[in-house]
Structure 1
Amino acid sequence: MTPLSSAETPAKLTKASIERAKRRVRGWFGERGWKPFPFQRETWDAYLAGESGLVHATTGTGKTHAAWFGPLIEYLAESKRAKEEHTSPKRKRGTKAKELPLKVLWITPLRAISADTEQALRQPLDALAIPWTLETRTGDTSAAIRARQRKRLPTALITTPESLCLLLTRDDAEERFADLRCVIVDEWHELLSTKRGSQTELALARLRRWRPDLRIWGLSATLGNLDEAMAALLSQRGERLEVRGEGPDTNASLTSHHSPLTQPRQWLISATTRKVLAIETLIPETMERFPWAGHLGIRQLPMVIEAIERANSSILFTNTRSQTEIWYQSILKQRPDWAGLIALHHGSIAQQTRRWVEDGLRQGKLKCVVSTSSLDLGVDFSPVDCVLQVGSPKGVARLLQRAGRSGHSPGRPSKVVGVPTHALELVEFAACRDAIASGHIESRQALRKPLDVLVQHAVTIALGGGFRSDELLDEVRRTTGFADVTDAEWEWVLDFVTRGGEALRAYDEYRRVAHAEGEYRVDDKQVAKRHRMGIGTIASDAAIEVRYLKGGRIGTVEESFVSRMKPGDRFLFAGRVLELVKFFDMKAWVRVAKNKTGTVPRWSGGRMPLSNELSTAIREKLQQAKSGVYDCPEMQAVKPVLQLQADWSRIPARDELLIERTKTREGYHLFFYPFAGRLVHEGLAALCAFRLSQLDRITFTMAMNDYGFELLAAKEAPLERALEEGLFDPANLREDILDSLNGVEMAKRQFREIARVAGLVYVGYPGSGKTAKQLQASTGLLYDVFANYDPSNLLLRQARDEVLERQLEHSRMFETLQAIGRSRVVVENPRKPTPLGFPLMVDRLREKLSSEKLSARISRMSVALEKAAG
């Protein structure tokens, strides 16, 4: 598969025709008071030379125009357009002359931003009189548009990875992509380290097989490992790589790397612009020396309202959907005159409401929108000039991404205001600012061999015209994620889709693909229908639709929340207090409650761990504080807390593991502070408890946060002996972790997602889906069948691996244990819990007590500790 060279472009372009086209494009920019950036011009030139690459630029600096105008310039430069447009021998008869075939495929990670992307791409089409049709195809696309697209795809199509794979299931898929010249993958960093990214890699490999001259361009921001990201996108390792940046006049650097190969180059175009980013933090008026997570946020409501008032338009980001509901209600209660000027936005709200909110932001009609990550990506809200971040962003890239929602156009500054929810988050915001200034951004790695995705892809291709084993294997191995698939693994995949593997061969429903005369095809209409309905890799708890009794749709909540409610219970959702009337037909029927108090739904997915980069930056700030350096307003504000920590115990240095041993009326506490993130600490807490209990029969209660973990027992644990015998030894880590956490049960729960992606279970047709309990029961049965009768089943291995990596960050845990091995382990014996230990105690109590009882209990604890601290 040879990339297109500059001499093989689809039409013979002359320098004069290209220059005329560029002149028209520069005129379009000039009419808007703009001038193309150097990185945009470089991208256009690379595209016109038939090359592929990755564009990396700060949010709001023009990546969309960098990718989109290459194909537009090419169209404008080609001569005799009307005659040459329809010469493809594979095109169907009867195609109207003015209907140009599919040329550009734009892949977006979120269907929620497809409408905004369509608007941005349509503007130059209309202004330059380019007669292309432009449409979207996502889960939100209407039935009428889908029907039209079944007959003919537009010239440019905006779609998601899932909808692209649906197109690949058609018998005439190759013909429909016969004129495709370019694929643009937007926000590649969001797809890269997910199964959706693996799905995208496989789909692109299929398109490259049909169109060896296909040009692929990725757009990315806030990413630390650009070379690896581009390799995963283009899947052609070993070719020449050109790394480009803008010249010194625009504050950037220029470097290049060449391999001895003579193939065309792939371009990594990195635009380091002069975009100004201002990071401020709301400093609380009073600083409690014993902080705990969450309590400080709403107490800063007056300062938040002042920040919103100063801005023309703002977005207030939270980390969970539950927090958005709480903050929206709190702001509206404080400022009832803002009714209609503030709004709520998250993924569980109905699409019609979300679009109304997005239009209001875009047109400058809304003063503030309270949102989760549903507004993180892609959407251009020019009136927004301030972003507020409630709570720690948990990662440097996430704060950068959200900050870019303000001042979202070249030359305008971005502003983000941090709203800490407890005192130690002041350190996190200060650390984030330092990490951004140093360019320490998180990397994202492509997944390696998620076989459930490969199983799904094999059925997709078998449905879309069929395949031969050796040909599809060669195609699959051209991707980065599946490059090292072994012959044995591939044979297992084929056996699994044709017979169901060793354990399921007796059941006809698992024979999805027929094999005859070397061809693998799907010849059962029911299998085809079920597969198309199940395409995708996004797995979540069952979503229950929330509707008014009169029929209006409000959004969705998770089944686990609704199943605990009874008629008459009230809950806060979509900015309203609703009363549950009945739960019927997988729908929650509600009405507006007269009593304006209620519980807040909790959605899964809110456990974002602290990233390595932010963790390192936090430890650096603590190292400075240990040396007496408090060099910013945030650190000055948190100084009393850290000084008390030093007085009662110590501030851990960057090369120390601090362990605090304390006795209270509750029992014997051990506090460990690796600063490795919540998920790693969950695994480490279980590991340490398991290894300590091997030395002495002790039952531990555990708690963890992003800074450390607590082990509480009724008697003192043999800590010194455990340290001497390798408490933090990384040897046998995998086995000890699975033993300590009941790994079988965790693997069963993870297998539910794998089984759905691999097509082993069917979630049902729309409106008649299975409940989460039903799905778990069926997948649990399959897991037991495989474990007993097919123990070498590769999906079982994948389930265990995903538990370790995704739920417990096994690799990062191993690295943390290695780092502890190189560090000094310091054991302190404070008389009372310290400012670092107190929030861990609160997190443990939060699991046992109601909000009212917890608040009272914490208040008494805080008063006693403050009194002891003088």
Structure 2
Amino acid sequence: MKRAEFIGLAEDWFAGQDWKPFKFQKDTWTAYLQKKNGLLNAPTGSGKTYALWVPIVLDYIRKNPDYKTKHKKGLKAIWITPLRALSVEIEQAASRFAEEMGTQFTVGIRTGDTSQKDRAAQKRSMPDLLITTPESLQLLLASKNYDKTFKDLQAIVIDEWHELLGTKRGVQVELGLSRLKTISKDLRIWGISATIGNLDQAREVLLGPESKALENSVLVRAFLKKKIDVRSIIPKKMEKFPWRGHLGLHLLDEVVPIIKESRTTLLFTNTRSQCELWFQKLLSKYPEFAGEVAMHHGSINKETRLWVEQAIRNESLKAVVCTSSLDLGVDFAPVETIVQIGGPKGVARFLQRAGRSGHQPGKVSLIYFLPTHAIELIEASALQKAVVKKAVEDRVPYLMSFDVLVQYLNTLAVSNGFFPKEIFPEIASTFCFQGITEDQWRWILNFITKGSQSLQSYDEYKKVEIEEDGKFKINNRGVAMRHRLQIGTIVSDAVLSVKYIKGGYIGTMEEFFISKLKPGDVFTFAGRNLELVRIKNMQVLVRKSKKKTAKVPSWSGGRMTFSAQMSELLRDEMYEASALEQDEKTSPEFEALKPIFKRQQRDSIIPKADEFLIETFKTREGYHAVFYPFDGRFVHEALGSLLAYRISLLVPISFSIAFNDYGFELLSDQEIDMQQVLDNNLFSADFLMDDLYKSLNATEMARRKFRDIAVIAGLVFTGYPNKLIKSKHLQSNSQLLFSVFRDYEEDNLLYQQAFRETFEHQLEEGRLRISLDRISKQTIVWKKCAKPTPFSFPIITDRMREKLSSEKLEDRIKRMLKQLEA
């Protein structure tokens, strides 16, 4: 049979289901049967599972003409998914096609949820298709004689590749693929990705840097005309001084008719606490929804989540309030409407959520945007343009993740052992390690066998033995067991308890905020100003402080920041607003915002494309300076600290820093000499790394980052399943190692990696440079204002939120608004 005849078999099967294959599906079938590797770019719900499962089965039929009567057992294909929730759906689709084509294919699932009994059965006889996760694939590589398991492997498909790209799980996949390519000579590798800005690079990371030049690698795109209808929910009365306090709840009554008119509605919130709040308020105000409205987020137990997903499928729920836990996968057709509560912070996330509605080819996706404060309507306007332009973010891949490499080499050493000469070219062929040098490789081999230069006298770090024939192998059963228990790259953020130094428990805070503080710093927590005395054994020891200025804590739920794309779109909207004539007809969002724009123009300005706005004013709290780069929270946090540090070099002064996605504020009890700031060119990118180190306590941030690196690299052990080691011990163990490397071994690759990742991934140093570069080319407009402006108001009220209970905050803001409106 010719290739076209094989494809005809699949087309006949599709016709039997009353379906017609899309062009992208047929293109993928053809490319696969031509022995090509590739990346398929297709939206959720477009039939991407059949795009790749069909040719895998057809290829098997082609190679085994008597497939209906004879069946050769063994693993033929692996399907990797980042989410366990997706595996059941993939299994159902795959089994159905394989069965109805008359093959004797078996399909199995192996994830963290798979029982010990099923794993043992798989060990005896592998299914033909195995659906698994990146971690479970590594566990298979850690089992004895894994090469026999994989020798007849024909295909490996990585689903939702955009979710793995730019994470260490993605690096895990790259390394696993580099090994499988050597073992399985006839292997075809395919990825499936939603739309991201750097699709070509995504393919290169998946298939390796050499794939660019190879003719056997393709990028197949599904050009499905997906119509997305974005509608803003515009408040009837617009406040001239917007603030974020009500989490959008003041528009609850506007949402209810939308829920009632739709068969099923998903209400997406950005944080778990916001999700809980909306769910409670919806039911307390509209008790008739009891039993028809549910909630779904990552902290809810698995049984409830699965029940909710099933209830959406069979339309027994009217609405589900959820977080990003329903962003991906979980395939259900009938969702009619999406409501996005608050800015989604990124275009890709917004499009992904919109695609949950009309989740079938050819259907219109309807998404409502509900602003949590008025200025977010600018985001709604920006998102509408992004949908038209298809402006989507890049995912930045990791480079030189030595912690993942150390874990991977230990995995190979635990199973069959490895010869460095054979493994080095495989590792150097991956995107992540394409720049690895011979010296770095030697250092890594020394590290796993001797425990690096400063740890040589401790036997526990000498995990891998070099056998007589030069093979690197782990022979100690205890070491092997501990390694298998700790395979993976997901390390959760630790929670620290906050206590008075004299005793008395106040509450808990996440590590990522505490790591930025130095002893003596004052922060606000639980309505009190507290001075950090020291961090000891995962406890934050504090004393009360009478200082007026304090840092405001942030939680990782509120840690989402604007993507670079989103920031750019927002700035464009702002520049457009600055050119608006008062009587000019424009979009509904801008029409609604006119009173705010008018007031902002009266009290200050709306900056144009070539302007950078700084506002200063005095209130009862002190002297405020507000800066507007419109670059997202992470960049503003770093910029605020950098500027505060540079000003303090000119004059002795201390600041409280507050920031949101639009700008940042420096507040002090003495007046800032802004002219001096402008004259001294404090927005320069010169000495940036050096000043960031000093302003943000970068060593402390890197020390926290090192904990994750130490866990992944197996330097510290997290414990046995029923006896996990407390995070305070993990932290103190990794801190001890960090201090040893800092004092005695500064060229330690894992120690250096901690600093690199802090700057590249946490502080977004690249975006910070671009931001400073842009400001240096703009005209700085400094406005001395009599009182807070509409743009500065959300930043000020955000800072006050941490000091006051929500009732007191509402009262305080009402008083402030009265004064401002007067």
Q: How does the TM-score come out when normalised to structure 1?
A: 0.85
* Partner-residue secondary structure (3-state), 2:723: coil
- Aligned equivalents of 1:239, 1:411: Cα separation in 2: 33
Q: How far has the Cα of 1:336 moved from its partner?
A: 2.4
- 8 Å CA contact 1:239, 1:265 repeated in 2: no
2:674 is aligned with what amino acid? L
Task: Note if 1:102 corresponds to 2:67.
Answer: no
Residue number among 518, 522, 525 corresponding to 2:474 in the alignment: 522
Q: How far has the Cα of 1:150 moved from its partner?
A: 2.0
Task: Note if 1:278 corresponds to 2:264.
Answer: no
* Partner-residue secondary structure (3-state), 2:275: helix
Structure 2 equivalent of residue 762 of structure 1: 717
Q: How far has the Cα of 1:116 moved from its partner?
A: 2.5
Residue number among 342, 347, 356 corresponding to 1:391 in the alignment: 342
Q: How far has the Cα of 1:207 moved from its partner?
A: 0.7
1:503 is aligned with what amino acid? S
- Label 1:717 to 1:430 Cα distance change in 2 as closer, same or farther (>3 A): same
Task: Note if 1:619 corresponds to 2:592.
Answer: no
Structure 1 equivalent of residue 248 of structure 2: 297
Structure 1 equivalent of residue 44 of structure 2: 59
- Label 1:542 to 1:695 Cα distance change in 2 as closer, same or farther (>3 A): closer
- Aligned equivalents of 1:683, 1:239: Cα separation in 2: 36
- Label 1:327 to 1:121 Cα distance change in 2 as closer, same or farther (>3 A): farther
Q: How far has the Cα of 1:610 moved from its partner?
A: 0.4
* Partner-residue secondary structure (3-state), 1:237: helix
Residue number among 10, 24, 48 corresponding to 1:39 in the alignment: 24
Task: Note if 1:374 corresponds to 2:347.
Answer: no
Task: Note if 1:190 corresponds to 2:142.
Answer: no
Structure 2 equivalent of residue 144 of structure 1: 117
Residue number among 120, 123, 145 corresponding to 2:96 in the alignment: 123
* Partner-residue secondary structure (3-state), 1:663: strand
Residue number among 398, 409, 423 corresponding to 2:374 in the alignment: 423
Matches within 5 A, 1:551-630: 604-628=556-580
Listed one character per residue, the Cα deviations across residues 70-126 of structure 1 (whole Å, up to 9, x for unaligned) are: 11222333443459x9xxxxxxxxxxx756311111111111222222223333233
1:204 is aligned with what amino acid? L
* Partner-residue secondary structure (3-state), 1:105: strand
Structure 2 equivalent of residue 693 of structure 1: 648
Task: Note if 1:506 corresponds to 2:457.
Answer: yes
- Aligned equivalents of 2:102, 2:811: Cα separation in 1: 67
2:687 is aligned with what amino acid? N
- 8 Å CA contact 1:229, 1:445 repeated in 2: no
Residue number among 25, 36, 41 corresponding to 2:10 in the alignment: 25
- Aligned equivalents of 2:85, 2:728: Cα separation in 1: 29
Q: How does the TM-score come out when normalised to structure 2?
A: 0.90
Structure 1 equivalent of residue 591 of structure 2: 636
- 8 Å CA contact 1:696, 1:717 repeated in 2: no
Structure 1 equivalent of residue 85 of structure 2: 112
Structure 2 equivalent of residue 667 of structure 1: 622
Q: How far has the Cα of 1:335 moved from its partner?
A: 2.7
- Label 1:397 to 1:143 Cα distance change in 2 as closer, same or farther (>3 A): same
Q: Out of 384-393 and 782-791, give the one that drifted further.
A: 782-791
Q: How far has the Cα of 1:311 moved from its partner?
A: 1.1
Structure 1 equivalent of residue 441 of structure 2: 490
* Partner-residue secondary structure (3-state), 2:148: helix
- Aligned equivalents of 1:681, 1:440: Cα separation in 2: 23
- Aligned equivalents of 1:366, 1:41: Cα separation in 2: 36
Structure 2 equivalent of residue 350 of structure 1: 301
Listed one character per residue, the Cα deviations across residues 494-542 of structure 1 (whole Å, up to 9, x for unaligned) are: 1111111112111111111111232111111111111111111111135
Q: How far has the Cα of 1:805 moved from its partner?
A: 1.9
Structure 1 equivalent of residue 59 of structure 2: 74
- Aligned equivalents of 2:316, 2:419: Cα separation in 1: 56
- Label 1:667 to 1:236 Cα distance change in 2 as closer, same or farther (>3 A): closer
- 8 Å CA contact 1:321, 1:603 repeated in 2: no
Structure 1 equivalent of residue 538 of structure 2: none
* Partner-residue secondary structure (3-state), 2:288: helix
Listed one character per residue, the Cα deviations across residues 788-840 of structure 1 (whole Å, up to 9, x for unaligned) are: 22222111111111111222111111111111112221111111111111111
Matches within 5 A, 1:400-479: 400-479=351-430
- Aligned equivalents of 2:340, 2:388: Cα separation in 1: 18
Residue number among 614, 638, 644 corresponding to 1:683 in the alignment: 638
Aligned residues: 766
- Aligned equivalents of 1:70, 1:626: Cα separation in 2: 55
1:437 is aligned with what amino acid? V
- Aligned equivalents of 2:767, 2:459: Cα separation in 1: 42
- Aligned equivalents of 1:312, 1:185: Cα separation in 2: 33
Structure 2 equivalent of residue 831 of structure 1: 786
2:217 is aligned with what amino acid? Q
- 8 Å CA contact 2:354, 2:366 repeated in 1: yes
Task: Note if 1:208 corresponds to 2:159.
Answer: no
* Partner-residue secondary structure (3-state), 2:239: coil
Listed one character per residue, the Cα deviations across residues 571-615 of structure 1 (whole Å, up to 9, x for unaligned) are: xxxxxxxxxxxxxxxxxxxxxxxxxxxxxxx97354111011111
* Unmatched segments (≥5 aa) in structure 2: 497-506, 512-553
Structure 2 equivalent of residue 532 of structure 1: 484
- Aligned equivalents of 1:62, 1:485: Cα separation in 2: 39
* Partner-residue secondary structure (3-state), 1:216: strand
- Aligned equivalents of 2:558, 2:190: Cα separation in 1: 32
1:724 is aligned with what amino acid? D
- Aligned equivalents of 2:343, 2:799: Cα separation in 1: 20
- Label 1:603 to 1:659 Cα distance change in 2 as closer, same or farther (>3 A): closer
- 8 Å CA contact 1:101, 1:154 repeated in 2: yes
- Aligned equivalents of 2:815, 2:366: Cα separation in 1: 39
- Aligned equivalents of 2:315, 2:155: Cα separation in 1: 34
- Aligned equivalents of 2:640, 2:177: Cα separation in 1: 42
Q: How far has the Cα of 1:428 moved from its partner?
A: 0.3
- 8 Å CA contact 2:493, 2:510 repeated in 1: no
- 8 Å CA contact 2:230, 2:384 repeated in 1: yes
- Label 1:121 to 1:375 Cα distance change in 2 as closer, same or farther (>3 A): farther
* Partner-residue secondary structure (3-state), 1:383: coil
Q: Out of 531-540 and 465-474, give the one that drifted further.
A: 465-474
- 8 Å CA contact 2:575, 2:607 repeated in 1: yes
1:45 is aligned with what amino acid? T
1:27 is aligned with what amino acid? D
* Unmatched segments (≥5 aa) in structure 1: 1-13, 86-96, 241-262, 545-557, 563-601
